[in-house]
Structure 1
């Protein structure tokens, strides 16, 4: 962080704010087809807001994830090569907190990237979850063992150390990062743009990071405009999530080459992304000008 005065641990956010953020995360793929994109771009972030949003994401993780419990949960699912509905829900909520701090690192750190330790374990959680949800018993066993080993005692201490050594983003760096992601969104929704399933997945990651950015911000600084944007982003995310599930299923059935086969982005998604980027600052300026 830029100075010793910044702390991930304090000031403490309220229990109400933690619950509000978890609710926002739970709703981040709810499809509301009549949700409208706000016509005006959201207000500029301040350095204080960036720091507070980063802190909230960290406190959400450590307040709701117990490493010992998580290891026992992973071990139980791994042993049975399957998960009960209750275990599935518990694991999903744990992974959601990991994803939120990973998105926070991309959004608020000067590096605008995922720390390797955090990225690796979050991806492994995703692979483990996909395995037991889809009945892939051998993959559930192998990925579960790997995940259990990664979640060793002292994990949070090591993760905290890597996060506090990072630098909080400057406003200039943050603006360049947002402009770059806006441009990637714009490039993907051109009239003649075709994507592979992999490229589609990467596009959805940008949408997911933007949802995390907005949902964290509106938790701390509520406004009708940010709520409206959240509904619109969640609709895009939900539509893309349903489509990606279908693409993954096609790949599993050998009906799709995930890395090479291209398709045109459906207009119900493309039109909403176009509406989104038209409201974002930096769209009409080159990245170098931001």
Structure 2
């Protein structure tokens, strides 16, 4: 698809539904399973709508000045109130969701470089004030001041609004490739911290896709079901990842040592792979070719 600059605008109810979905994307529900087979079909219109909602979710959720004020506030006092920390967390979640959208729906399947760097640095900055690491707080805070400067912000926003989207068939192929990577990663009983993080990134991209689908179409029961199943995996992995990050910041080596993948996580991942049609191919007409 060609780059689009005329993006659809959604109602406040739809963006709020996405906010709720993103807020729930690490909640673990014990009794959620998957459909017998996951339907991969996704029209070009759906791809455009999904990206448009993710872009609006980011653009309308905060201002550059607000985020910069939060960064400066944490630099002055890392122990800011819980409500302020939560506001920062919500803004970072909007960055992460749009980064997933660029990776999913953009033809290159990677985020804009500066946008990706900003999202990563926002995470490192959050880890620093959560864990009381003053050195990293100063380092990443100063980086964010640069990344949130007006010239960089304008350049990034322009790039985000001029994203070239993937075709319907290309989107299916990308998702299948992601699942094959997941299959390879969990073939070993033990994973390093880096491999564990790679698995979680694949799961997080997929849960973001279904979060967006269910927000645009609240009656899509399958999207909600898959969203909740993937969120459980995301949540279980997130708890473990937080432990590894805290240990690494404290000088430990848990992140670098291979560890057995939790059986609950493994079983859920194996079920996902069993229900995901890796040989699926969308008809040429439906793919818009």
Q: TM-score, normalised by structure 1?
A: 0.91
Decide which moves more: 104-113 or 74-83: 74-83
One of 190, 193, 196 as aligned partner of 1:197: 193
Give yes or no for the alignment of 1:7 onto 2:10. Answer: no
- 2:286 maps to what in 1? none
- 1:182 maps to what in 2? 179
Cα contact 1:79–1:141 (8 A) shared by 2: no
Decide which moves more: 247-256 or 230-239: 247-256
One of 219, 234, 238 as aligned partner of 1:237: 234
- Between the aligned partners of 2:58 and 2:16, the Cα distance in structure 1 is 12
Equivalent pairs counted in the alignment come to 280
- Between the aligned partners of 1:266 and 1:151, the Cα distance in structure 2 is 39
Cα contact 2:244–2:254 (8 A) shared by 1: no
One of 271, 278, 283 as aligned partner of 1:282: 278
Alignment of 1:1-150 (within 5 A): 2=2, 6-8=4-6, 10-150=7-147
- 2:264 maps to what in 1? 268
- Between the aligned partners of 2:2 and 2:271, the Cα distance in structure 1 is 36
- Between the aligned partners of 2:55 and 2:280, the Cα distance in structure 1 is 34
SS at match of 1:125: helix
Cα contact 1:182–1:277 (8 A) shared by 2: yes
Deviations 1:179-232, CA, capped at 9 Å, x for gaps: 110111122233x43210111011100111001111111111231111111111
- Between the aligned partners of 1:284 and 1:53, the Cα distance in structure 2 is 21
One of 222, 225, 231 as aligned partner of 1:228: 225
SS at match of 2:259: strand
Q: TM-score, normalised by structure 2?
A: 0.91
Gaps of 5+ in 2: 282-289
Alignment of 1:159-170 (within 5 A): 159-170=156-167
SS at match of 2:149: coil
Give yes or no for the alignment of 1:209 onto 2:191. Answer: no
Cα contact 2:37–2:275 (8 A) shared by 1: yes
- Between the aligned partners of 1:253 and 1:59, the Cα distance in structure 2 is 38
SS at match of 2:150: coil
Change over 3 Å in CA distance of 1:144–1:252 after alignment to 2:
closer
Cα contact 2:5–2:162 (8 A) shared by 1: no
Cα contact 1:211–1:230 (8 A) shared by 2: yes
- Between the aligned partners of 1:144 and 1:164, the Cα distance in structure 2 is 26
Decide which moves more: 245-254 or 172-181: 245-254
- Between the aligned partners of 2:78 and 2:17, the Cα distance in structure 1 is 33
**How far is the alpha carbon of 1:73 from its aligned partner?**
1.2
